[in-house]
Amino acid sequence: MADPPGAAAMPRRRAALGAAALSSLGAAPAAGHVVLLGDSVFDNAGYLAGRGGGPDVVGHLRARLPPGWKATLLAKGGSVSADVPGQLARLPPDATHLAISAGGNDAGRREGELAEPARSVADGLARIAAIRARFAEDYRAMLDAVSARRLPVAACTIYDPRFADPERRRVAVVALAAFNDAVTREAFARGLALIDLHLVCGSDEDFAAPTGPSVRGGGKIAAAIAGWAAGDGATRRGRPRPEVFAGGEGEG
């Protein structure tokens, strides 16, 4: 009996459908393209000059991503949260994942207000609350612009600066807690992943400058980003679920 019309093509069609199904289940993931947005936490090459060299954050990331994946640096040192939407204008058309580090410079620009005298502890806290509220508005608008691209997004918390003056360092840590509260709330409200740089960069050796990551710190940051982007969390289908990434394994 002769085969029905098109029978010879059926095995090929089934194979193609099977490959597509496996890809959708994560068995054969397509190569990704991670884009770094924000400030000098990612754009840290300048901190490494004169320190023996070594890869910057994006260099570490390219080495840690799976074969075939790409990483692009759009972050620029000195940027504040309001600058990130402008960086999206240069977003590569094949971008698949967006990682953001923003807020440290927003806080740095308000550091002078922390030195102003206060009538009471409550008055001091009220001033910090007002600073936090203004930052939260900028950060919220930034995340709205990034989320509009409909790509997996990971937001980074602001790590503790390594200022030489112990008192300045203690005050900064307390003030940044208010900023990080805004970061985590806004990220989780959107179901975004969170990379906790408090824990990723937890030692002085992770810093080449008070607010800039060293080769070691950059490697740990890249490891956390790669773990998020190339793992299941960033590509899971259905409603986004907030996840926290705090590991920096595999640092250089």
**Residue 1 — very low, low, confident or very high, per pLDDT cuts 50/70/90?**
very low
> Domain coordinates of the chain in residue numbers?
33-245
Q: Give the predicted TM-score (pTM) of the model.
A: 0.81
Whether the predicted pLDDT of 59 surpasses 70: yes
Calculate mean pLDDT across residues 191-200. Answer: 94
Please check whether residue 27 is in contact with residue 33, taking contact to mean a CB–CB distance below 8 angstroms.
Answer: no
Please check whether residue 219 is in contact with residue 252, taking contact to mean a CB–CB distance below 8 angstroms.
Answer: yes
Q: What percent of the chain has pLDDT over 90?
A: 63
Q: What is the DSSP string of 167-225?
A: HHHHHHHHHHHHHHHHHHHHHHHTT-EEE-HHHHT-SGGGEEETTEE-HHHHHHHHHHH
How many angstroms separate the CA atoms of 91 and 15, rounded? 35
Please report the pLDDT score of residue 10 as a whole number. 37
Half-sphere exposure of 20 (CA within 13 A, CB side): 6
**Residue 127 — very low, low, confident or very high, per pLDDT cuts 50/70/90?**
confident
Calculate mean pLDDT across residues 9-20. Answer: 37
Collapse the DSSP code of 25 into the 3-class scheme (helix H, G, I; strand E, B; otherwise coil) and give the result: coil
What CATH code is assigned to 33-245? 3.40.50.1110
Whether the predicted pLDDT of 20 surpasses 80: no
Residue spans of beta strands (DSSP E) within the chain: 33-38, 70-73, 97-101, 153-156, 193-195, 207-209, 212-213, 244-245
Please check whether residue 193 is in contact with residue 234, taking contact to mean a CB–CB distance below 8 angstroms.
Answer: yes
Whether the predicted pLDDT of 182 surpasses 80: yes
Please report the pLDDT score of residue 236 as a whole number. 47
Calculate mean pLDDT across residues 158-177. Answer: 92
Q: Please, which residues have CB within 8 angstroms of residue 184's CB and are 6 or more apart in sequence?
A: 157, 194
Please report the pLDDT score of residue 171 as a whole number. 87
How many angstroms separate the CA atoms of 35 and 58, rounded? 9
How many angstroms separate the CA atoms of 148 and 153, rounded? 11
Q: Please, which residues have CB within 8 angstroms of residue 219's CB and are 6 or more apart in sequence?
A: 55, 60, 248, 250, 251, 252
Residue 229 structure tokens? 């982007």
241 burial level (CB within 10 Å; 0-12, 13-18, 19+): exposed
First to last CA, the chain: 66
If you average pLDDT over every residue of the chain, what do you get? 84
Query: How confident is the model over 71-113, as pLDDT tens digits?
Result: 999 999 999 999 999 999 999 999 999 999 999 999 988 877 7
Tokens 């029905």 correspond to what residue? 4
Please report the pLDDT score of residue 249 as a whole number. 60
- Burial per residue of 7-44, b for 16 or more beta-carbon CB atoms within 10 angstroms, e otherwise: eeeeeeeeeeeeeeeeeeeeeebeebbbbbbbbbbbbb
Q: What percent of the chain has pLDDT over 70?
A: 81
